[in-house]
């Protein structure tokens, strides 16, 4: 099975900072990669699919890139409401594996 | 709008069984693949099982294969998962989730139901 590895596991940054989260697949997955945001006590919400397509309604400060095995989620200007845990996920075939998550906090 | 409402969670002893349900509304349930995802307390998301739109294909995580069974009743717009031989490590919030197209990412999620396996 393909494993999904995120880094870092947590980060703390200031409001307005640009942050990047990395997700690596153990084998190539083309662009079958989604990013989810889960705020404390809430249900996960899809931010990006097909590695770089922004879900409707998601602020444009979020962006995704990558293909094959290496992917990134970038928040161009971190806002207080972005405090959450972010997960990558491979899809298109079983298992629909999630990364272990990256917890983002405000410094 | 899409609504997914899970039920059936609770406290159960190790080795016992439980059946979770997910009632769907606001969309044509019979044309979408569905999934169960779980999240242990304070931990990350773990995909559990998937079922195709017509129930003809099922997939399972290795951690639950042979113990859990996913099913659906398209006449009742309901997704199920039968949890057998439960272990302490199965303690989690169980979410049902809906694909947007075949084998896609999860566009919609329920609020989850908590399963606690404890003696």
- The reply to whether residue B104 touches residue A49, judged by beta carbons under 8 angstroms, is yes
Angle, alpha carbons B54-A90-B33 (nearest 5°)? 10
A101 touches chain B (CB under 8 A): yes
pLDDT over 90 at B36, yes or no: yes
B41 touches chain A (CB under 8 A): no
pLDDT over 90 at A39, yes or no: yes
Which whole number is the average pLDDT over B64-79? 98
pLDDT over 90 at A32, yes or no: yes
Cα distances (angstroms) measured from residue A10 to each of A24, A103, A106, B8, B54 = 16, 4, 11, 33, 40
What is the rounded CA–CA span in Å between residue B115 and residue B86? 10
Which whole number is the average pLDDT over B1-30? 98
- Which chain A residues have a beta carbon less than 8 Å from that of B112? 43
pLDDT over 90 at B102, yes or no: no
On the 0-12 / 13-18 / 19+ scale of CB atoms within 10 A, B24 is buried
- Which chain B residues have a beta carbon less than 8 Å from that of A93? 103
Q: Which of B95, B56, B37, B81 is nearest to A97 (CA)?
A: B37
pLDDT over 90 at B13, yes or no: yes
Tokens linked to A14: 């200031």
Residue B60, SS3? strand
What phi and psi values does residue A42 have, to the nearest 5 degrees?
-115, 170
The alpha carbon of residue B105 is apart from the nearest alpha carbon of chain A, in Å, by 6
The alpha carbon of residue B21 is apart from the nearest alpha carbon of chain A, in Å, by 17
Q: Residue B92 pairs with which residues in a beta bridge?
A: B115
- The reply to whether residue A98 touches residue B46, judged by beta carbons under 8 angstroms, is yes
What phi and psi values does residue A58 have, to the nearest 5 degrees?
-85, 135
Mutate to test the interface with A, among B33, B43, B45 (most CBs of A within 10 A): B45
Which whole number is the average pLDDT over B58-66? 97
Give A41-76 pLDDT, tens digit per residue.
999 999 999 999 999 999 999 999 999 999 999 999
Q: Which of A15, A39, A16 is nearest to A101 (CA)?
A: A39
What phi and psi values does residue B108 have, to the nearest 5 degrees?
-135, 145
- The reply to whether residue B104 touches residue A92, judged by beta carbons under 8 angstroms, is yes
């Amino acid at each position: 099975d393909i494993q999904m590895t995120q880094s870092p596991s947590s980060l703390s940054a200031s409001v307005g900072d640009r942050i990047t989260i990395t997700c690596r697949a153990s084998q190539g997955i083309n662009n079958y990669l989604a990013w989810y945001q889960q705020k404390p006590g809430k249900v996960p919400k899809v931010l990006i699919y097909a590695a770089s397509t922004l879900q409707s309604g998601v602020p444009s400060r979020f962006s995704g890139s990558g293909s094959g095995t290496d992917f990134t989620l970038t928040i161009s200007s971190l806002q207080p409401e972005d405090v959450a845990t972010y997960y990558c996920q491979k899809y298109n075939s079983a298992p629909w594996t999630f990364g272990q998550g990256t917890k983002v906090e405000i410094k | 709008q899409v609504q997914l409402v899970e039920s059936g969670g609770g406290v159960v002893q190790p080795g016992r069984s439980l059946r979770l349900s997910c009632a769907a509304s606001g969309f044509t349930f019979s044309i979408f693949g569905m999934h169960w995802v779980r999240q242990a307390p304070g931990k990350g998301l773990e995909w559990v099982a998937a079922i195709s739109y017509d129930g003809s294909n099922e997939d399972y995580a290795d951690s639950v294969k042979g113990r859990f069974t996913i099913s659906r009743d398209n006449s009742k717009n309901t997704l199920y998962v039968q949890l057998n031989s439960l272990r302490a490590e199965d303690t989690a919030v169980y979410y049902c989730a809906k694909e947007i197209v075949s084998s896609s990412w999860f566009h919609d999620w329920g609020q989850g139901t908590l399963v606690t396996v404890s003696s």
